[in-house]
């Protein structure tokens, strides 16, 4: 092996050696995601710098038989050593080409590992360690500690993003999943402001904007805004691992870019994503990873990472730190809530809360409402029911105002989370023209009509479910009448709900037979503070109650007070209804 094999060229000299083999060593500042080529190989590019080219650097293009054989850089600032790469030029761009037949590489930890042994964490099959390399690596580590990598910390705030534009993001990879074949979703966390979604187009008259809002609200019945853009919701186990503050941004890798090696991304790592595309789907911002997008992993001691982690910790510890940045220094005083001194929480706090029933206070944005007209909030049966679609930087949820909540306004109602959502299933939907166009005289006009919901001659008839109004599950049967008037007049519309009940002998299944369970209550089963007389014993209540029974029948049971060291003033029985939604 000749002496030239031990020589590393500075980058400024290497760019002049077109079509020649050179040895290079440098600091990694940028990488691309591995992807398959049109042939049988896999490809990625790595940008490196050194003292001679601290800003421009040079790209090294790698080709290998598998993605595993490509370099997988652990963090920006790491040192890469390549031997026998060929310097090429395409247009005005000079780059180095790694040839799998005779080139080699080795990756070493960077500046934050200057005290460790010089052992590479990844090498190619043709790499051979040399004692002479250690001085070059130590010199680069020392230089990188004193040199600020230009452009590394340049990234847009989320409030500056534009639909269809490209930007750089500094964020943390939280979760990666394949939502369907060749379609991947990534969740990123950022300590930044949640972007406001503007109605498009924005260069139209105010009355047109009002008209567009009207159309969006009317469309909520037929095409409700989804709570997520992915086909299936995130599992609760994953949800509980997500940070409660900051912006949760989804990134999509669709089938058009399935060749990108997304599975090689590392979770719980801070990264800078370069040249990602911003799009809006279902009124939700998300990023799209493109074939030309690049990334670089950031070490935990990077200045930008430290600043964001410090800001996150301060918000977590602050009583008011869970308000969105857009509401600082304080949310609008137009609305008031009960318990003004209760600290705010985010929607992610609510979704990951361990208790099913609890009260929260949050600053959220209302993005949809159903029904959208105030006169329709009150149902024909005299009950207020409204469904709000709420969002903050961490999540989007449905909130149901029902009964007194719809009147009082001091309670957010029932939250339907993004991990328990099923699109409404139409049981029956028919439109009947009961009167053709023409004039209707003044006064009261009666128009008799009838609609056959089920034709007895049809086969495979499905039985209608009974009417049910719940927090997460609702079964309703509505009759809507529309009267279309002239061009200068608004159409008239009204909706009436009718109740469907089934006789016991006409149920889809046999009536549920009562199922009894035995219970007992003693001082040892209680978690709250007890009177002194009860702590030492002398209290026991036993009984049995029906845990499964028909809704048409009363709930039965027995309760026996066997012993009590103090007089009993009252016995209260609390019934809690729990609704479950099964997906898949």
Mean pLDDT over 557-572 rounds to: 84
Two tokens, residue 368 = 């949809």
Least confident of 191-200, 373-382, 454-463, 561-570: 191-200
| Helix/strand/coil for 252 | strand
Nearest to 352 by CA among 244, 233, 268, 267: 244
Most confident of 62-66, 419-423, 533-537: 62-66
Mean pLDDT over 177-200 rounds to: 54
Least confident of 70-84, 92-106, 299-313, 444-458: 444-458
Q: What percentage of the chain reaches a pLDDT higher than 70?
A: 66
pLDDT of residue 15: 93
pLDDT of residue 123: 92
Q: What is the CATH topology of the domain spanning 3-146?
A: OB fold (Dihydrolipoamide Acetyltransferase, E2P) (2.40.50)
pLDDT digits (tens, 9 = 90+) for 321-360: 777 766 655 666 556 666 677 778 888 888 887 766 677 7
395 to each of 30, 54, 139, 519, how far by Cα in Å?
31, 41, 47, 40
Categorise residue 276: left if φ over 0, alpha if ψ from -120 to 50, beta otherwise: beta
Least confident of 185-199, 235-249, 322-336: 185-199
Q: How many CA atoms lie within 13 A of 116 on its CB side?
A: 11
pLDDT surpasses 80 at 126: yes
pLDDT digits (tens, 9 = 90+) for 264-293: 677 888 888 888 888 887 777 778 877 777
| Helix/strand/coil for 541 | strand
Nearest to 424 by CA among 394, 465, 457: 465
pLDDT surpasses 50 at 196: no
Mean pLDDT over 413-439 rounds to: 61
Two tokens, residue 335 = 């609305």
pLDDT of residue 408: 43
- Comparing 3-146 with 158-317, is the CATH topology the same? yes
pLDDT surpasses 50 at 199: no
The pTM (predicted TM-score) of the whole model is: 0.53
Calpha distance 25→107 (Å, rounded): 10
Calpha distance 204→106 (Å, rounded): 58
pLDDT surpasses 90 at 406: no
Q: Where along the chain do its domains lie?
A: 3-146, 158-317, 510-584
Are the beta carbons of 476 and 498 closer than 8 angstroms?
Answer: no
Two tokens, residue 56 = 């421009």
Q: What is the CATH topology of the domain spanning 158-317?
A: OB fold (Dihydrolipoamide Acetyltransferase, E2P) (2.40.50)
pLDDT digits (tens, 9 = 90+) for 522-561: 877 776 666 666 666 678 888 888 877 666 677 788 889 8
Least confident of 108-122, 200-214, 225-239: 200-214
Least confident of 79-88, 179-188, 550-559, 571-580: 179-188
pLDDT of residue 536: 66
In sequence order, the β-bridge partners of residue 164 are none
Maximal C-alpha separation, the chain: 108
pLDDT of residue 14: 94
């Amino acid at each position: 092996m000749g002496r030239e094999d031990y020589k590393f060229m500075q980058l400024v000299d290497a760019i002049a050696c077109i079509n020649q083999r050179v040895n290079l060593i440098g600091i990694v500042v940028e990488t691309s995601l591995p992807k398959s080529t049109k042939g049988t190989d896999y490809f990625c590019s790595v940008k490196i710098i050194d003292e001679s080219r601290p800003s421009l650097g040079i790209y090294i293009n790698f080709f290998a038989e598998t993605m595993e054989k490509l370099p997988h850089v652990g963090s920006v600032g790491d040192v890469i050593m390549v031997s026998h790469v060929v310097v090429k030029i395409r247009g005005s761009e000079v780059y180095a080409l790694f040839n799998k037949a005779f080139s080699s590489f080795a990756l070493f930890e960077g500046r934050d590992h200057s005290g460790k042994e010089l052992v590479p964490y990844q090498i190619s099959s043709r790499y051979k360690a040399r004692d002479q390399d250690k001085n070059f690596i130590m010199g680069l580590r020392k230089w990188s500690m004193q040199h600020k990598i230009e452009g590394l910390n340049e990234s847009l705030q989320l409030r500056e993003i534009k639909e269809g534009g490209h930007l750089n993001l500094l964020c943390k990879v939280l979760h990666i999943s394949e939502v369907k074949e060749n379609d991947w979703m990534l969740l990123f966390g950022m300590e930044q402001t949640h972007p406001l979604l503007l109605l498009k187009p924005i260069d139209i008259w105010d009355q047109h904007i009002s008209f567009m809002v009207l159309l969006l609200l009317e469309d909520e019945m037929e095409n409700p805004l989804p709570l997520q853009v992915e086909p299936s919701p995130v599992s609760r186990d994953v949800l509980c691992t997500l940070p409660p503050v900051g912006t949760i941004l989804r990134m999509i890798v669709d089938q058009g870019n399935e060749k990108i090696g997304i599975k090689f991304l590392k979770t719980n790592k801070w990264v800078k994503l370069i040249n990602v595309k911003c799009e809006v789907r279902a009124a939700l911002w998300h990023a799209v990873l493109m074939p030309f997008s690049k990334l670089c992993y950031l070490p935990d001691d990077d200045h930008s990472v430290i600043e964001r982690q410090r800001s996150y910790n301060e918000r977590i510890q602050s009583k008011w730190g869970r308000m969105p940045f857009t509401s600082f220094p304080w949310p609008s005083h137009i609305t008031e809530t009960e318990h003004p001194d209760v600290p705010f929480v985010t929607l992610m706090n609510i979704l990951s809360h361990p208790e099913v029933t609890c009260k929260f206070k949050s600053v959220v944005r209302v993005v949809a409402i159903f029904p959208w007209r105030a006169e329709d909030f009150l149902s024909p049966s005299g009950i207020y029911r409204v469904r709000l679609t709420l969002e903050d930087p961490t999540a989007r949820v449905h909130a149901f105002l029902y009964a007194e909540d719809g009147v009082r306004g001091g309670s957010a109602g029932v939250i339907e989370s993004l991990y328990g959502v099923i699109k409404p299933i139409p049981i029956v939907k028919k439109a009947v023209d009961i009167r053709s166009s023409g004039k209707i005289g003044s006064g009261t006009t009666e128009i008799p009509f009838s609609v056959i919901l089920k034709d007895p001659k049809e086969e495979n008839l499905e039985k209608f479910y009974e009417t049910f109004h719940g927090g997460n599950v609702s079964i309703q049967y509505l009759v809507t009448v529309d009267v279309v008037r002239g061009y200068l007049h608004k159409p008239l519309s009204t909706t009436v709900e009718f109740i469907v009940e089934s006789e016991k002998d006409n149920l889809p299944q046999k009536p549920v037979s009562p199922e009894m369970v035995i219970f007992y209550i003693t001082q040892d089963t209680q978690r709250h503070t007890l009177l002194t007389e009860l702590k030492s014993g002398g209290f026991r209540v036993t009984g049995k109650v029906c845990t499964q029974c028909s809704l048409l029948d009363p709930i039965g049971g027995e309760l026996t007070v066997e012993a009590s060291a103090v007089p009993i003033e009252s016995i209260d029985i609390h019934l809690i209804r729990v609704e479950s939604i099964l997906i898949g």
